[in-house]
Amino acid sequence: MVSCRVTQTYDTGSCVYFYFAFKWTEEHTDPLGLYECLEEKAREEILASGGSLSHHHGVGKLRSRWYPSQVSGSGVELYQATKQHLDPKNIFACGNLINSKL
C-alpha cells in the first residue's frame, strides 16, 4: 500500500508525506532491510528531482548519509563548529547528522 498527502504549501513548493506498507511474510526474511532499501531508493529519487532531505522534523540518523551532499563541506564544518561550541560533550542529537567525535 502506498499513499501520500500534501500537508503544507509554500511559494517555493510543498511538503508531501508518502506512506507505504507491506505485508511481512516468510518470503521477506529481513523486513527492516527491505524498508531501508525502499527508503534509500525513494530518498535518492526525491533528491534527484529537486526535493529536500527533510522538512520540519529534521534529518536524523536515518537520512544523515545524505546531509553532507545537501549542505556542502562548508555547511558540515559550520554545523560541527556550532555543535562543538554549544554542545561540547555531544549530549544533544548525538550522531543525528554527523557521526563523529566532536
Return the active site residues. 17
Q: What DSSP string runs through 40-97?
A: HHHHHHHHHTT--S-STT--TTTTGGGHHHHHHHHHHHHHHHHHHHH-TT--TTTTSS
